[in-house]
Amino acid sequence: MTAPSELDDSFHVFDTTLRDGAQREGINLTVADKLAIARHLDDFGVGFIEGGWPGANPRDTEFFARAREEIEFRHAQLVAFGSTRRAGATAAEDHQVRALLESGAEVITLVAKSHDRHVELALRTTLDENLAMVADTVSHLKAQGRRVFVDCEHFFDGYRANPEYAKAVVRAASEAGADVVVLCDTNGGMLPAQIQAVVATVLADTGARLGIHAQDDTGCAVANTLAAVDAGATHVQCTANGYGERVGNANLFPVVAALELKYGKKVLPEGRLREMTRISHAIAEVVNLTPSTHQPYVGVSAFAHKAGLHASAIKIDPDLYQHIDPQLVGNTMRMLVSDMAGRASIELKGKELGIDLGGDRELVGRVVERVKERELAGYTYEAADASFELLLRAEAEGEPLKYFDVESWRAITEDRPDGSHANEATVKLWAKGERIVATAEGNGPVNALDRSLRVALEKIYPELAKLDLVDYKVRILEGVHGTQSTTRVLISTTDGTGEWSTVGVAENVIAASWQALEDAYTYGLLRAGVEPAE
């Protein structure tokens, strides 16, 4: 089930996505999901994967059984999570402790209370009995040959309330043989300076090997984790994409990236950091959450540049404007086009699209003006690459690319007494010298227009059959100067191998959608290599 890592044991990257991360509101993992995530985390190269609480719920018990059989771990060791024994019994006779051993995990994390009030109010036992529970459970598991980490829950609040007792818990765990004692900011209220001071003191006073588990309630979980490392912690508990209860946990990816790239500390096997962006997105897919576009290092926006001011210098030296080379974490630099953009970003964008504008200053100037004017009217090109490319080509060639000429269209939505709706659209257009009139129905007026356009064009351009609308967004833009509001529509289209976005702006949603549809099909035909022939 487990394989020794090529990394030494002096520093631990410990992932708890499958246990603490799964507490995030909206995440509900099946056993198959957990197995898939475990594979991704092992692929990334973390040292430890906390898989859940075997015995506490059947799903986690099954996960440990199947992981043992189905996964050949290359880097990680699988960890079972559980609690210290209950009060007034021995660890050997505690069912919950036995389930941890039966999970087959070679490493076990035990959660222990270290805040005096929690011992009294939540555990309802004495402070001394809690120390005995920690020592007895650790000794018992160590005697069974397991490696043991102890999570001191609510440690930092406990330390504030009663530092001597909090340290006594650390000592009890450490003296009983715990390999690491993990100080947990369970309610996430700490700031880095506080974490650093407490970790340094506890390390000096107890001599235990310390770890850190930070929650993100102050927005400082990554910094809190690094502050603990600065103070001497050598074990960091994180979750992929920062998933976790309430705001979330310390995010594995920026913590690992900071350790590798800013501290120069080797915490992953060779070459794995470059897989970080892909693995972050893959795990988001498994838990069925849209990957955060603005996540540090791995978000699609993490290395996207918009400001015209910067773009001119980025051309000269990208390192002046990026804190790291995005390739180091498997991400890429992108240039966005917006009305803040100047000439340099348009040139760069052209290059990205394979259109060299470098020589033609007058053309670039015209495109900049056109983009500014259109964005003032409500268009946005940073999210509509395909419409931007069509605009750019139109300026370069003096006229817009046309595969068809629309004479008129009409969309009707009708409510019926039974509450159902009928949507019908008719399109009249010219293509390759032929006048075509087509009508189609749909589940809404835009869908009906889309279908009527396909019906009209599919004989002349069979390539359109491959195209699919995959996303549709509407935004109402408030009127400026007391004029009426306008509507912006963004459409994403795919041909099975790529995806592109187009934009339309008009005084109503149907007309705006129509524009975005026209661009979507025009671009699809351009991509398919079809010659414009009218």
Q: Segment 10-39, which members bind a copy of itself (CB under 8 A)?
A: 23-26, 28, 30-33
Q: At which residue do the structure tokens 């996303």 appear?
A: 471
The nearest distance, CB 471 to a copy of itself, in angstroms, is 8
Q: At which residue do the structure tokens 């999970």 appear?
A: 103
Separation CA 134–CA 173 (nearest Å): 6
Query: Binder to a copy of itself among 69, 397, 414, 531 (CB under 8 A)?
Result: 414
Query: Binder to a copy of itself among 3, 92, 412, 437 (CB under 8 A)?
Result: 412
Q: Token pair for residue 79?
A: 């960890």
Query: Binder to a copy of itself among 1, 200, 307, 401 (CB under 8 A)?
Result: 307
Residues 67-106 that bind a copy of itself (CB under 8 A): none
Within 8 A by CB and 6+ apart from 319, the residues are 325
Query: Binder to a copy of itself among 484, 496, 497, 529 (CB under 8 A)?
Result: 484
Separation CA 184–CA 210 (nearest Å): 10
Does residue 219 interact with a copy of itself by CB under 8 A? yes
The nearest distance, CB 132 to a copy of itself, in angstroms, is 21
Query: Binder to a copy of itself among 4, 358, 462, 479 (CB under 8 A)?
Result: 479
**How do strand 405-415 and strand 421-431 relate by DSSP bridges?**
antiparallel
DSSP state of 460: T
> Are the C-beta atoms of residues 491 and 453 closer than 8 Å to each other?
no
- Of the candidates 250, 197, 195, the one whose C-alpha atom is nearest the C-alpha of residue 222 is 250
- Of the candidates 372, 389, 313, the one whose C-alpha atom is nearest the C-alpha of residue 344 is 313
Residues 131-190 that bind a copy of itself (CB under 8 A): 154, 157, 186-190
Separation CA 269–CA 225 (nearest Å): 21
Query: Binder to a copy of itself among 421, 435, 459, 466 (CB under 8 A)?
Result: 421
Residues 233-262 that bind a copy of itself (CB under 8 A): 242, 245-248, 251, 254, 257-258, 262
Does residue 504 interact with a copy of itself by CB under 8 A? no
Nearer to a copy of itself, 11 or 472 (CB): 472
The nearest distance, CB 528 to a copy of itself, in angstroms, is 26
The nearest distance, CB 43 to a copy of itself, in angstroms, is 19
Residues 371-400 that bind a copy of itself (CB under 8 A): 372, 375-376, 378, 380, 382-383
Separation CA 55–CA 36 (nearest Å): 21
Does residue 473 interact with a copy of itself by CB under 8 A? yes
Nearer to a copy of itself, 45 or 242 (CB): 242
Within 8 A by CB and 6+ apart from 375, the residues are 338, 339, 381
Three-state SS for 381-418 is: CCCCHHHHHHHHHHHHHCCCCCCCEEEEEEEEEEECCC
Residues 37-56 that bind a copy of itself (CB under 8 A): none
Write each residue from 425 to 444 as x if it is in contact with a copy of itself (CB under 8 A), else as -, in one continuous string.
------------------xx
Query: Binder to a copy of itself among 230, 275, 360, 495 (CB under 8 A)?
Result: 230
Does residue 117 interact with a copy of itself by CB under 8 A? yes
What is the rounded end-to-end Cα distance, in angstroms, of the chain? 65
Backbone angles phi, psi at 222, to 5 degrees: -65, -50
How many residues sit in the footprint of a copy of itself (CB under 8 A)? 123
Separation CA 377–CA 366 (nearest Å): 17
Separation CA 229–CA 11 (nearest Å): 10
> Are the C-beta atoms of residues 492 and 467 closer than 8 Å to each other?
no
The nearest distance, CB 291 to a copy of itself, in angstroms, is 13
Within 8 A by CB and 6+ apart from 262, the residues are none
Residues 260-289 that bind a copy of itself (CB under 8 A): 262, 288
Residues 314-343 that bind a copy of itself (CB under 8 A): 316-317, 320-324, 336, 338-340
The nearest distance, CB 462 to a copy of itself, in angstroms, is 26
